[in-house]
C-alpha cells in the first residue's frame, strides 16, 4: 500500500509540474509579447501591422471567417477565393493549410468569446496555449525516458533559455509550425510511452489512441508534416531492422501513418501531395515486405541474409513506388525546391532570381557559429554530445551482441548498465541524428532539432541507467557504481539547474520588465491612406511582404503574396520585383498592367538596401537574373541602358510620368497610380 501511494504521489507531482511548466511558459510568452509590442495600448491597425509577411495572410483569413455570415459561407469563400490575388482564384484552405484559422474562428464564436475578448487576443492566446502544450509534451517525454520528472524541469529550462533556437513564436505567431509542432511533440511523447517494454495493456492502448489523434491533427495543421513523419518512419524502420523492438508494435504505428494519410487526403480536398509523399511509399513498401517475409530461424546465417535482403527490398520498393505514384497521380511538382537543393549542394549553378533569393535567406543557409556558441553557453550542447555518444555506443554494443546470437533481456535492470537496449532510447537517438544532420545543412530546420536536443540531453543526465552504462565501461570499483549512478543522476541536473538559474533567470526577468515599443508610423500612415483614398476595387502591386500586410489591414486586392509553395505566385513575385531592377518604364508598366494593378508601391528600404552579404540584395539578384550586372573575378560589368526603375520613377520626368503618377509618399513608401490612358510628354 505504501509503495502504491509513493508511486501515485510521484505521478501526481510530475503531472502537476508538467502542467505548471506549460502554463507558466504560455503566460511568459503572453507577457513578453505585450512588452515587446505594447499590444494592449495600440489601435487595431497598429496591432495588425505587427503581423508581417505570411503571418499577415493567415491572420487576415481568420478575420474573414469572423466576418462571414455563417461558417459554411466563410469556408466556401475561402475555398473559392478570388478577392485576394488579382486574376487568380485559389483554394486558400488547401493551399495555405488554413485549418487552424477555421478551428479558431469556430471556437471564438461557439464559446461566446466575442462578448469577452477581442479576436486578436483569442487568436494569439490559442497559439500561446499550444506552445504551453508543446513544452508540457517535451517534459513528459523526458520524464518517460529518464524515470524522473526532474528531467522534465531541466528540459523546459533549456528550451526556454535557448528559445531563439527552439521556436519562432516570438517573431511570427501564426506560422503553421507554431500550430503543428505541439501536436507532433504530443505524438512523440505517446510514441515514447508506446515503445517502452514494461508498459501495461491499458497504458499501451492509451498511448496508441493519443498517437493516432495527434498524428492526424499534426498532418492537417502543416503541409510539410509528412516529411517530418517520414524521418520518424525511417527511425522506426531502423529500430525494427535491428530487432530491437517487437515488429508488431512498429507495424501498428505504420497503420496510423496510412490511416492519417488517406483521411488527410480526403479531408484536404484530395490533396495529391499526400499520395506522392515519400512517407506513403515507405510505409506501403514496409507492409509489402512484411507480407513477403519468409520465416527463418532467428540468429542463423539465413536469418541475417534475409534481413539484408529485406532492407534492400524496402529501399528499392520505396523509390519505385514513389516514382510510380508520381507518374499516375496528377500533382503539382515542387520543381523549384528540387532546383534549390541542386544549387544548394553545388550540383548546379543558376541566375534565377527566386532560387538565388532563397539561397540568400538566413534560414536556408548552414547554421552560424553563433548558434553553436549559444547552445554551448547554456551547457546544452556539451551534455547533449555526452549523452548522445554514450547512448549511441551502447546501442551499437547491443546490435553487435544481437548479431553474435545473444538475445536481449526482457527486463533491463539498473545493474546491467545497458541503456542501449531500451527501444525508446534507440528511437530517439536515431531520430535526433537524422534531424541534426538536416539542421547542419539548413539552419531553419534547427527549430525541429533543438527541442529534442533539450529533451534527450536532460533525460540522459537525469538517468541513472546512462551513468551506470558509463561506469560499466570504465569498470569502476572504488565506489559502488549503482550508488554513484543514483547520486549523479540527481546531483548533475541539480548543479546544471542552479547554474542556469543564476545566469539566465535575471535575463528572463529583465525581458519582462523592459518595454520594447514597436513603432512603425510610416506603415500606419500608408494603410490609413489606402483605406481612405483608394477605390475599393483597386489592386496594389509591391513587394510580397508588404502585400500581405495590405491584405490584412485594408482588405484590398494585391498582385502577389509572400508564399513560396506555388509556382505561379513565385513567378508573380519575381515579375513584380522588377520595379527594383534596371528595366524601362514601358517594361514595368506592361508587367503591372498584365496583373491588372492600379497602384504601385515602391519601398525605400528595398530600393536603397544596403545588404551585409554581397550579391544578396533584391536589386543585385534582379540585375544578375536580367543579365544587367555580371561579376567576373571581382570586376563589375554593367549592361543595362536604363537606370534603376525605383530611383528613376521618383524624379518625375518623361517617360516615367507618362505611365505613373505619384499620389502619396512618406519617408518609407512612394505610391504611384498606374495610368490607364498614357499621355506622352516631351
**Among residues 392, 393, 250, which one has the least CA distance to residue 314?**
250
CA-to-CA distance for 311 and 205, rounded, in angstroms?
29
Are 438 and 432 a contacting pair, CB within 8 Å?
Answer: no
Neighbour tally for 351: CB within 10 Å: 13
Give the integer Cα–Cα distance in Å for 253 and 209: 11
Paired sense of beta strands 635-638 and 629-632, if any: antiparallel
Query: What is the distance between the alpha carbons of residues 167 and 179, in angstroms, rounded to a whole number?
Result: 12
Interval 60-100: pLDDT, tens:
999 999 999 999 999 999 999 999 999 899 999 988 999 99
Q: What is the mean pLDDT of residues 7-24?
A: 89
The percentage of the chain sitting over the pLDDT mark of 90, rounded to a whole number, equals: 54
- pLDDT score at 516: 67
Query: Which is it for the CA torsion 32, 35, 37, 39, positive or negative?
Result: positive
Q: Are 463 and 146 in contact (CB under 8 A)?
A: yes
Which backbone phi and psi does 632 adopt, to 5 degrees? Answer: -135, 110
| Residue 428 near residue 354 (C-beta atoms within 8 A) | no
Please write the tens of the pLDDT for every residue from 534-576. Answer: 999 999 999 999 999 999 999 999 999 998 888 888 999 999 9
Q: What is the C-alpha separation between 286 and 248, in angstroms, rounded?
A: 12
- Residue 306's pLDDT is 77
What is the pLDDT, as a whole number, of residue 682?
43
Q: What pLDDT digit, counting tens, does each position of 425-478 carry?
A: 999 999 999 999 999 999 999 999 999 999 999 999 999 889 888 888 887 766
CA 468 to CA 484: how far, in whole Å?
Answer: 8
Examine the pLDDT at 416 and tell me if it is beyond 80.
no
Q: How confident is the model at residue 653 (pLDDT cuts 50, 70, 90)?
A: confident
101 vs 345 pLDDT, higher one: 101
For 47, 354, 581, the CA distances from 624, given in Å and listed in that order, are: 38, 11, 10
Cα separation of 559 and 569, whole Å? 9
State residue 411's pLDDT score: 60
Enumerate domains of the chain plus CATH numbers.
128-332+360-512 (no CATH), 521-674 (3.40.50)
CA angle 613, 615, 619 (to 5 degrees): 115
Write b or e for each residue in 525-535: b if 16 or more Cβ atoms lie within 10 A of its Cβ, otherwise e.
Answer: ebbebbeeebe
Which one is predicted more confidently, 347 or 381?
381
Question: What confidence tens digit (pLDDT) does each residue in 489-506 have?
Answer: 889 999 999 999 999 988
Which of the residue ranges 131-145, 341-355, 575-589 would you say has the lowest mean pLDDT?
A: 341-355
Lowest mean pLDDT among 106-115, 337-346, 531-540: 337-346
Evaluate whether 144 touches 4 at the Cβ level (below 8 Å).
Answer: no
Q: What is the rounded CA–CA span in Å between residue 557 and residue 404? A: 68
CA torsion 648→651→656→661, rounded to 10°? Answer: 130
How confident is the model over 273-306, as pLDDT tens digits? 899 999 999 999 998 888 876 554 555 666 677 7
Cα maximum dimension of the chain: 99
Cβ pair 519, 594 in contact under 8 A: no
Burial 283-299, CB ≥16 within 10 A → b, else e? bbbbeebbeeeeeeeee
Average pLDDT over residues 107-118: 88
Q: What is the pLDDT of residue 300?
A: 64
**pLDDT top residue among 410 and 262:** 262
d(CA 456, CA 436): 12
Task: Give the Cα separation of 436 and 590 in Å (integer).
Answer: 47
Q: Output the pLDDT for position 335.
A: 64
Query: Which residues does 580 contact at the CB level (< 8 Å), separation at least 6?
Result: 606, 607, 618, 619, 622, 644, 645, 646
Instruction: Calculate ∠ Cα 60-62-63, nearest 5°.
Output: 65
Confidence band for 361, pLDDT divided at 50, 70 and 90: confident
Buried b (16+ CB within 10 A) or exposed e, 210-223: bbbbbbbbbbbbbb
Dihedral class, residue 74 (left if φ above 0, else alpha if ψ from -120 to 50, else beta): alpha
pLDDT(336) > 70:
no
Q: Between β-strands 557-558 and 539-541, what pairing exists: parallel, antiparallel or unpaired?
A: parallel
User: What does the DSSP 8-state code read for residue 368?
Assistant: P
Residues 6+ away with beta carbon under 8 Å from 141: 155, 185, 188, 189, 192, 455, 459
Alpha carbon distance 512, 517 (integer Å): 13
The pLDDT assigned to 235 comes to 94
Query: pLDDT by residue (tens digit) across 596-649?
Result: 999 999 999 999 888 666 678 898 899 888 888 755 555 556 667 888 999 999
Work out whether the CA dihedral 669, 674, 675, 678 comes out positive or negative: positive
Amino acid at each position: 500500500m505504501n509503495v502504491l501511494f509513493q508511486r501515485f504521489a510521484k505521478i501526481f507531482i510530475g503531472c502537476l509540474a508538467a502542467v505548471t511548466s506549460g502554463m507558466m511558459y504560455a503566460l511568459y510568452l503572453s507577457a513578453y509579447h505585450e512588452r515587446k509590442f505594447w499590444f494592449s495600448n495600440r489601435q487595431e491597425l497598429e496591432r495588425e501591422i505587427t503581423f508581417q509577411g505570411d503571418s499577415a495572410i493567415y491572420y487576415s483569413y481568420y478575420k474573414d471567417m469572423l466576418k462571414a455570415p455563417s461558417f459554411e459561407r466563410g469556408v466556401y469563400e475561402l475555398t473559392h477565393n478570388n478577392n485576394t490575388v488579382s486574376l487568380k482564384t485559389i483554394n486558400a484552405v488547401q493551399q495555405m493549410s488554413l485549418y487552424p484559422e477555421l478551428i479558431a474562428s469556430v471556437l471564438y464564436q461557439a464559446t461566446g468569446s466575442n462578448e469577452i475578448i477581442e479576436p486578436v487576443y483569442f487568436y494569439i492566446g490559442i497559439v500561446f496555449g499550444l506552445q504551453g502544450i508543446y513544452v508540457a509534451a517535451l517534459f513528459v517525454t523526458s520524464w518517460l525516458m529518464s524515470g524522473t520528472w526532474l528531467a522534465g524541469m531541466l528540459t523546459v529550462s533549456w528550451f526556454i533559455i535557448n528559445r531563439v533556437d527552439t521556436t519562432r513564436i516570438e517573431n511570427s505567431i501564426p506560422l503553421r509550425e507554431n500550430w503543428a509542432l505541439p501536436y507532433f511533440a504530443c505524438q512523440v511523447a505517446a510514441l515514447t510511452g508506446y515503445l517502452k517494454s514494461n508498459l501495461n495493456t491499458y497504458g499501451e492502448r492509451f498511448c496508441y489512441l493519443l498517437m493516432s489523434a495527434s498524428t492526424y491533427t499534426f498532418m492537417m495543421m502543416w503541409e510539410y508534416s509528412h516529411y517530418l513523419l517520414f524521418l520518424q518512419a525511417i527511425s522506426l524502420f531502423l529500430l525494427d531492422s535491428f530487432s530491437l523492438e517487437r515488429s508488431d508494435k512498429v507495424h501498428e504505428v505504420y497503420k496510423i501513418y496510412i490511416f492519417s494519410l488517406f483521411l488527410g487526403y480526403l479531408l484536404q480536398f484530395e490533396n495529391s501531395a499526400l499520395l506522392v509523399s515519400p512517407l506513403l511509399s515507405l510505409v506501403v513498401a514496409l507492409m509489402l515486405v512484411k507480407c513477403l517475409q519468409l520465416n527463418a530461424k532467428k540468429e542463423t546465417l539465413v536469418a541475417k541474409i534475409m534481413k539484408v535482403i529485406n532492407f534492400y527490398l524496402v529501399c528499392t520498393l520505396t523509390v519505385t513506388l514513389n516514382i510510380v505514384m508520381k507518374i499516375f497521380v496528377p500533382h503539382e511538382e515542387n520543381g523549384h525546391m528540387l532546383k534549390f537543393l541542386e544549387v544548394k549542394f553545388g550540383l548546379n549553378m543558376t541566375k534565377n532570381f527566386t532560387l538565388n533569393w532563397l539561397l540568400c535567406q538566413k534560414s536556408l543557409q548552414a547554421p552560424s557559429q553563433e548558434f553553436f556558441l549559444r547552445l554551448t553557453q547554456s551547457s546544452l550542447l556539451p551534455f547533449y554530445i555526452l549523452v548522445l555518444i554514450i547512448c549511441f555506443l551502447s546501442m551499437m554494443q547491443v546490435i553487435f551482441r544481437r548479431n553474435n546470437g545473444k538475445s536481449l533481456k526482457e527486463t533491463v535492470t539498473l545493474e546491467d548498465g545497458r541503456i542501449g537496449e531500451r527501444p525508446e532510447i534507440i528511437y530517439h537517438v536515431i531520430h535526433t541524428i537524422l534531424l541534426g544532420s538536416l539542421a547542419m545543412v539548413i539552419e531553419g530546420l534547427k527549430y525541429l532539432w533543438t527541442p529534442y536536443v533539450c529533451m534527450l540531453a536532460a533525460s540522459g543526465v537525469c538517468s541513472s541507467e546512462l551513468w551506470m552504462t558509463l561506469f560499466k565501461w570504465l569498470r569502476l570499483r572504488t565506489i559502488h557504481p549503482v550508488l554513484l549512478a543514483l547520486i549523479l543522476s540527481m546531483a548533475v541536473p541539480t548543479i546544471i539547474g542552479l547554474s542556469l538559474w543564476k545566469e539566465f533567470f535575471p535575463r528572463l526577468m529583465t525581458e519582462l520588465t523592459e518595454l520594447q515599443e514597436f513603432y512603425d508610423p510610416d506603415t500606419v500612415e500608408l494603410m490609413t491612406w489606402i483605406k481612405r483614398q483608394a477605390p475599393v476595387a483597386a489592386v496594389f502591386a509591391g513587394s510580397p511582404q508588404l502585400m500581405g500586410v495590405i491584405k490584412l489591414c485594408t482588405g484590398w486586392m494585391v498582385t502577389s503574396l509572400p508564399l513560396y509553395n506555388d509556382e505561379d505566385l513565385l513567378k508573380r513575385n519575381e515579375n513584380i520585383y522588377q520595379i527594383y531592377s534596371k528595366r524601362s518604364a514601358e517594361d514595368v508598366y506592361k508587367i503591372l498592367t498584365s496583373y491588372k494593378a492600379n497602384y504601385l508601391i515602391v519601398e525605400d528600404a528595398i530600393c536603397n538596401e544596403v545588404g551585409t552579404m554581397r550579391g544578396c540584395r533584391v536589386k543585385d539578384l534582379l540585375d544578375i537574373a536580367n543579365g544587367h550586372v555580371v561579376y567576373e573575378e571581382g570586376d563589375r560589368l554593367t549592361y543595362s541602358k536604363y537606370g534603376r526603375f525605383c530611383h528613376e520613377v521618383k524624379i518625375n520626368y518623361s517617360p516615367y510620368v507618362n505611365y505613373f503618377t505619384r499620389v502619396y509618399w512618406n519617408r518609407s513608401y512612394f505610391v504611384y497610380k498606374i495610368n490607364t490612358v498614357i499621355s506622352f510628354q516631351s
